Structure 1
């Protein structure tokens, strides 16, 4: 649904962000702002700030921020139009009725999704009965060898795709579905050589269900030596592998304080059969932040039950970081000498598995042990390099330095390091990395991830936007050195245009308003839209605060302060960084586009002028 910028702005201004957020978060006034515990990650000390004058919020812990619409979208899981509707109702604003064209489009999208749900249900039914027919003997034998009961097979709707490669297509066509619909559902492929053929054949089948128990996709394991061993449905309008978890429709009802995350379908099914109904698995892909956020709805504690081989260890290390980034606590379930949970339960039984669950390893201890494998701790030189690696790991561990202290103490105790000296090393390393407003000196805009896993290449733009919104007068000093072309096309270019238009019209570039305009812009790709809320709320001092550069009071009371020289220094560094990025991009094009040479020379001259300028 499209709402005009004027209407969106009216809804925003009629919903004071302090009032809205206060209905979800307990806050207290501190200076001119409000502070409380962040609703988006676990913390003991409040790092969540709401700025009533700018009508934005920002968490100095998880770095989430935005305006009142952003808050509702993040907290309630709403789309932008849904957030506008909820807040309009709250403010007593009547929204225009949906146009006939919009209603028709919405009805068509709903119809298409319902057809896909119905088709997947038909396919699941087809596979289910094929398993129990003569043609499905091989599939049934496979499940029986895996010691699955009839009750378990029925609960998970397990099935079989025949050796012939068009049975399901014919079945669905007889049910009235078109070739295009069957292909869109991910149940068939259409090629010039073979025509329409089933995507799944000669495989035991695992229907994938959403939280409403609707079938949204399938996983299939080949019988015999075929490749790939496991085949999964592609993403469709109703199925996104990165945002669903196998078995979560059952696990969310388990009365446990944790969820067990494992690698495969059979692991989940075996654990559920043994009574561990809190088990889930990712869907043929590496564990994602979307899946972690999904788990966060139901638990704060995740036990990683990955395979005990090297690949499983690497997957576990990666998953630990993802869990930690969304505020979840991860622990490691050790399965040796078994390879996976299914094998462990079969060999050692339910009670032994329960005992292992009760003695899971802390994820940080696990990470240290895995890091330790690469060093000879009997060698002083090697142990020194291990200590340096440990310092870096500790720095990346938590958003706030106080939260890192217990981990430092654990590491010091385990490896015989002096605690106070290790604290100083971590703080020194942090200040070294974060000493520049945008990490330019340390990272040289390499595009690598920073301590917050944020792409440092775009950080100068965000810091520039935030600085100009804080003090629009700085734009007068900057505009002689900048052009719209200095900003990446798309989101960043549009953000700069909004700032420029507001200042040129004699208005303040209000972050709250600009966030609304960008959130309502349907031309911005989804992968870029997720960055909108950080465009005008990214501050260099956020990072310095975490490792002692500034106190929280300094940040709350005005971030970098009111010293014109300090602001001018930061502005100049940011402009140099932005121009350097532009030159870097132009350099990369010269080979294929020599006509850009004159522009490149001009930009280099401008950079030299900028470096000599006083701000």
Structure 2
């Protein structure tokens, strides 16, 4: 979909939203000459691979291939569509948004889903205080949830009726198609007739709100112990559960750089009610890299507060592993067996939970404490096996300071020399380095192919194809006059990758029309994921000689590949396709 924002508006939008300023509000950037680098907000990493290019007003991550300009950054960071992202930046700059003659159908759908969710949340909350919601209100009050917390979290009641929400939202003008897309309704076929009914029935409702204040989904809980205990919104045009966190819209404000990560809605509400307003929770799935990345945008430290059973320990170990790839510090709250935060606050008060917070262990201490339980430290063999396991933990997770501190602690605990502990860690380092070097070349190729997996169409395995397309396009972007000089030699047909075929068509059209080809003019034509590939073309790390000879060499590579793939079955080529390829081949001779 090509959006109707003219270049003059986009120029002003870019001028008033300098990319360093926009991204710098959410990512800590460090200047390195003409560029800036930081930890990528779109994947987990310890070493910065996220690069901002003020000269081209673009960004690119060499770790996950995310890229674009300010609009794309807003789209990816806040999960917005194109028009929503432009509106956000326009409001940030105090600009008025032009009226578009037409709007993207997907954008309209998203806005309709947001509107339907807001109306549903309002109805559910109102029903909680009516006779239809008495059972749900009694349950919440029985769990010690105050009216204040009900208001803060917008809790509600879905009554024991199949069409309450359907009838209400239909009267507000929402179509069945919109309500099914929002997962507020379900449908089934009966006697050749489609029957629609409410997704949530006889349940407590937990609205899920994003960091911008939009109601994006709902969680729900049964009133008894029947299964499934929780029924949640499935993925919709505005919601993907693996990308969001419950209550982050509240916890992100004034959290002093620390978030408490809980397992469920009730834990979060109980903690907020006790004054711990920096608590958040996942949304019915195991913690995901996307959620870890989201947390890292708002916190420098996370305190993991999962149950102490086997499943909880496994989830904690996974969380530590995920956060170890970021710059976020991790602490683990040691909950008593069988207790969750809600139980502790009810039975022992908020001061007891505060004491648990203050006594929480960092990730290394937690790993060591778990490992310690697997060894009999009263025996020499037990001490040796524990020391070897501890050395692995410190080699993988500890810096030089952590190694020194914990080597001293282990020395005192096990009755061995500190130097012996450090030597054991060094042995692990050597072993790990050998393994790393052995697989480095293979891993680099694997990572490159993974990075380019969406850019390599089926049947094309040679990474030279990607490079040839990138270098050719980057040369044309840097030297628009090359397009005329390459006339008859290059066309979109020689490009193998769909996104680069599309990029060439748009860029060449703009050059022919004497229009600018800055990256912001292209963003309305590509998805955020596609913009990553486009952004690579504007990144300064592409090796260019800026010569026609380099372009012609790239064209030769692509023509060779085109002939290999397309002429396998000439009968499937149209007359126009055959003539185009014939003419290009002739021009190359």
TM-score (norm 2): 0.65
The Cα shift of 1:515 comes to 5.3
1:208 aligns to what? 208
CA–CA distance in 2 between the matches of 1:285 and 1:426? 32
Contact 2:114 2:214 in 1 (8 A): no
CA–CA distance in 2 between the matches of 1:37 and 1:235? 31
Contact 2:19 2:69 in 1 (8 A): no
Q: In the alignment, is residue 337 of structure 1 matched against residue 345 of structure 2? A: no
The Cα shift of 1:81 comes to 5.9
1:546 aligns to what? none
191-200 or 72-81, which moves further after superposition?
Answer: 72-81
The Cα shift of 1:266 comes to 1.0
1:123 aligns to what? 124
Q: In the alignment, is residue 188 of structure 1 matched against residue 185 of structure 2? A: yes
- Give SS of 1:197's match: strand
- Give SS of 1:439's match: helix
Which residues in structure 2 correspond to 1:227-266 (within 5 Å)? 227-237=227-237, 239-254=239-254, 256-266=256-266
2:320 aligns to what? 320
The Cα shift of 1:491 comes to 3.2
The Cα shift of 1:357 comes to 0.6
Deviations 1:493-527 (A, max 9, x none): 6468889x79x99xxxxxx95855763324x4x5x
Q: Is the alpha carbon distance of 1:76 and 1:168 closer, same or farther for their aligned partners in structure 2, counting shifts above 3 Å?
A: closer
Deviations 1:145-169 (A, max 9, x none): 4343455445444444344434444
The Cα shift of 1:312 comes to 2.2
Q: In the alignment, is residue 434 of structure 1 matched against residue 440 of structure 2? A: yes
Q: Is the alpha carbon distance of 1:60 and 1:372 closer, same or farther for their aligned partners in structure 2, counting shifts above 3 Å?
A: farther
Q: Is the alpha carbon distance of 1:317 and 1:162 closer, same or farther for their aligned partners in structure 2, counting shifts above 3 Å?
A: same
- Give SS of 1:220's match: strand
Contact 1:260 1:305 in 2 (8 A): yes
Contact 1:205 1:220 in 2 (8 A): yes
Q: Is the alpha carbon distance of 1:66 and 1:224 closer, same or farther for their aligned partners in structure 2, counting shifts above 3 Å?
A: closer
The Cα shift of 1:191 comes to 1.6
The Cα shift of 1:228 comes to 1.5
Q: Is the alpha carbon distance of 1:43 and 1:405 closer, same or farther for their aligned partners in structure 2, counting shifts above 3 Å?
A: farther
2:20 aligns to what? 21
- Give SS of 1:331's match: strand
Which residues in structure 2 correspond to 1:391-406 (within 5 Å)? 394=396, 405-406=400-401
The Cα shift of 1:143 comes to 3.3
CA–CA distance in 2 between the matches of 1:214 and 1:312? 31
Contact 1:462 1:535 in 2 (8 A): no
CA–CA distance in 2 between the matches of 1:378 and 1:416? 19
CA–CA distance in 2 between the matches of 1:83 and 1:259? 27
Q: In the alignment, is residue 359 of structure 1 matched against residue 359 of structure 2? A: yes
70-79 or 359-368, which moves further after superposition?
Answer: 70-79
Contact 1:266 1:342 in 2 (8 A): yes
- Give SS of 1:205's match: strand
Deviations 1:575-609 (A, max 9, x none): 9xx99xx99xx9xxxxxxx989xxxxxxxxxxxxx
Q: Is the alpha carbon distance of 1:422 and 1:532 closer, same or farther for their aligned partners in structure 2, counting shifts above 3 Å?
A: same
Deviations 1:505-562 (A, max 9, x none): 9xxxxxx95855763324x4x5x33643664489xxxxxxxxxxxxxxxxx9x89899
The Cα shift of 1:272 comes to 1.9
- Give SS of 2:121's match: helix
Q: Is the alpha carbon distance of 1:265 and 1:51 closer, same or farther for their aligned partners in structure 2, counting shifts above 3 Å?
A: closer
- Give SS of 1:192's match: strand
Q: Is the alpha carbon distance of 1:456 and 1:207 closer, same or farther for their aligned partners in structure 2, counting shifts above 3 Å?
A: closer
2:274 aligns to what? 274
1:519 aligns to what? 523
Unaligned stretches of 5+ residues in structure 2? 411-420, 457-462, 480-488, 571-589
Q: Is the alpha carbon distance of 1:416 and 1:302 closer, same or farther for their aligned partners in structure 2, counting shifts above 3 Å?
A: same
Paired residues, what number? 530
- Give SS of 1:342's match: helix
Unaligned stretches of 5+ residues in structure 1? 398-402, 448-453, 474-479, 506-511, 539-555, 587-593, 597-615
Q: In the alignment, is residue 529 of structure 1 matched against residue 533 of structure 2? A: no
Deviations 1:334-385 (A, max 9, x none): 1132342222333433222111111222234445666788999948998899
